[in-house]
Chain A
């Protein structure tokens, strides 16, 4: 079954409260928080997300959605998940001040995740903090890690390339994590302080020009909307399949509040309808999304 655009209610989700194991700076304004939640860690797949909230507080009030960055083991057993976040608003500012032992409430796994259809070349394209779902995805496709319980049909790729754009070199997070999984990392920065001086879409264009068989490649993309729109356009022109993971604001994460809607093509008279990103996404085929 193609998981894309099918309502994925939280039918595998669990809710738990857990003390943060660690909350580390890994790049400028970028943290990695480690949360013990073994049951959730066993179930989650790349591209799915969790809702995370600071316990016993009414300000910030709501939980926020975060993609799975990675799962971690303790004494050989799956023990929990890592979430990488950029300090930007009230929640992430409060989160960044939390030390080990801080109680958080977490529920997930939520959403559909990226498709696992095998492909020759998986091209992951990220802008800024949109990079977080791709470590797990790349590791899975290269056969380094497995996800899901029962284990999902594992996606495979002969090559996995990661095109990663950031404002400046100090904001590039987790490069070694990606390289350690055997992922080919290509970097672009707005100020030229690392890698290509320019947009990440330039890297994608170069990559596609040198591609032998475009029909055997697939793009997975996450980042700011203008960047995703550009990637979707490039993919369409080149005839490459492309999946976008949308980052819409959410209040509940489980499909009950109707906050996180995006315009998705349908057979409605208008040609589109608002769809909930949390249960019908966050991953959509790029041709379905009106950006």
Chain B
């Protein structure tokens, strides 16, 4: 006899040391510092909020144009426009920690030392759930290297792990030959979770004026166009490491959410869809219990990695 399936599926998710009320998070760079969304979204319902990536020093960001729409996708090169960690701690953190949603701070360093220094400071701030190491921003020189090189990735993650008590999520880029290798090094270095994927490097051109459309020439592609790439990455990595995964890439419908969970992600982040519908996270949270019930599982956790792949004869 099997246990009866509860009427309301259990949405709680554990990612290593991280406990989340549900698996639906909002991705860094697509949700501002949460304040901007407060009128349109019930922030306390979210599984987690990841504010826009911060850096050690203020950065003005790249020159416009900073985004270009492409077929079912969005190409961006914002350039980590932010006011730096001091302004974040002074102005944004006090608000964020009042929100009753898990707050995961995304940081990007130009060097391992910068990552460690920022992590140490944030480790001393009350009310944070985890850090997400943005080792994969394609728009900043330096940043992407840590996500493209197994050894450097191991180095930065293990050093942050040693110096900061907060759980660590490592966000990976798909712009590598073998993402599994990078994921393994993040896992070996003690990451609590791995989020994937960041944007896919791309370009858009105005041929009439013979010029690139982005001020930074190249940028990162996001949105529905990249979902198959993200699903593939989650699938491959989930087969190779035991570290819990957070899926990101083109998620905008409940079917997308379910596909990522089945593929092996324990949680997901909504990115570009926050732009196309700022209320999308609320709709997905409404729909998730219904979809889990349809899937016949008593909890979100039990759907994770249930993909059935027939081996070839």
Contacts and interface: CB of A to CB of B under 8 A. Distances in A.
Contacts of A10: 36-37, 39-40, 278
A39 B7 CA distance: 36
Contact of A258 (B66, B223, B279): B66
B296 interface: no
Interface string A2-45: 00000001111111000000000000000000000000000000
B64 interface: yes
A145 B177 CA distance: 61
A63 B67 contact: no
Nearest to A248: B64
Given A61-B223, A105-B277, A248-B64, A9 B74 contact: no
A103 interface: no
A107 B40 contact: yes
A63 B64 CA distance: 19
A135 interface: no
Nearest to B72: A58
Contacts of B274: 252, 256
Interface residues of A, number: 32
A65 to B, nearest CB: 12
A251 B40 CA distance: 16
Given A58-B224, A61-B73, A259-B76, A254 B36 contact: yes
Identify whether the interface residues of A are mostly helix, strand, loop, or mixed.
Answer: loop
Interface string B148-162: 000000000000000
Interface string A174-204: 0000000000000000000000000000000
Contact of B275 (A9, A13, A257): A257
Interface stretch (B13-21, B27-35, B103-111, B128-136): B27-35
A13 B74 contact: no
A105 B272 CA distance: 16
Contact of B66 (A62, A63, A259): A259
Given A13-B40, A61-B223, A256 B64 contact: no
A15 B275 contact: no
In the complex, which range does the number of interface residues on chain B fall in?
35 or more
A257 B69 contact: no
A11 B39 contact: yes
B64 A15 contact: no
B251 to A, nearest CB: 12
A9 B43 CA distance: 15
A251 B39 contact: no
Contacts of A59: 71-72
B71 A249 contact: no
B283 to A, nearest CB: 10
Contact of B61 (A14, A252, A270, A274): A274
Nearest to A91: B69
A224 to B, nearest CB: 15
Interface string A239-275: 0000000001101101111110100000000100110
Nearest to B65: A249
B152 to A, nearest CB: 27
A9 B72 contact: no
Given A10-B36, A59-B72, 7 more contacts: A60-B69, A249-B67, A256-B36, A257-B76, A258-B29, A261-B61, A261-B81
Interface of A: 9-15, 53, 58-63, 90, 105, 107, 248-249, 251-252, 254-259, 261, 270, 273-274, 279
Interface of B: 29-32, 35-40, 52, 60-61, 64-67, 69, 71-74, 76, 78, 81, 223-224, 252, 272, 274-279
12 contacts: A9-B38, A10-B36, A10-B278, A11-B38, A59-B72, A107-B278, A251-B67, A251-B275, A252-B275, A256-B278, A257-B29, A258-B52
